[in-house]
Amino acid sequence: ASMGRTLVELFYDVISPYSWLGFEVLCRYKHIWNMDLRFRPAFLGGIMQQTGNKPPAMLPKRAEYMLKDIKRMAKYYQVPVHMSGDDFQRIFATSSLAAMRFITAIDMTNQQYLEPLSREFWMRFWSQHEDISKPENILAVAQQAGLSAELSQKALEMTSSPTVKDRLKETTAEAIKYGAFGMPAVVAHYDGKPHLFFGSDRLELLGSVIGEKWLGPVPS
């Protein structure tokens, strides 16, 4: 089994800036490490609720630290996350449910767009500080990611279907089953068992567990 490729699943939500960091680094490593990277769009709100977790920013000292931390991480990881103090209000006021359902619909129908689409949602929310919850904004993101108007419209209609709603719930439940309590949650299937890594700063450890060499967040 160790000769085969390691399946690495990334459970993420576009409302999570650390998920973006982890996503970009894993994308950079998918052709360097002997792994099959599988994106698993899930709903962070559901994970927080079901595990009794609270957003870190609710603790003022932690929010203060997080601002500096994300600034440093963005620079080190070379990902354009831009965050300021008033962003916390914006995050608390935004639900990512519609966006994650839309991403799920695309995952189910046109998987080739999953990576660029997810990236565009992060770009819009975390780099351009624009809304990602309204249908017109979701369609704008889809267009930016290269989806046709027809495909985007179809995916948008699918977001209210039980099929998509259930799939998102199932993926979220699966993340929790692996032990996730926040995002990003990375699960490596190695040596016949799943290994959970929480956060974007544990990818070096992930490499070590699956027998791969860590070359920093931006491997050349």
CB count in 10 Å sphere of residue 81: 21
Q: 2, 16, 118, 133: which is the annotated catalytic residue?
A: 16
Q: How far is CA 86 from the centre of its chain?
A: 22
Helices marked H in the chain? 17-29, 44-51, 60-77, 87-93, 97-109, 114-122, 135-144, 149-158, 162-177, 203-209
C-alpha closest to that of 24 among 178, 156, 173, 203: 203
160 a catalytic residue: no
Q: Are 118 and 12 in contact (CB under 8 A)?
A: yes
Which residues are identified as catalytic?
16
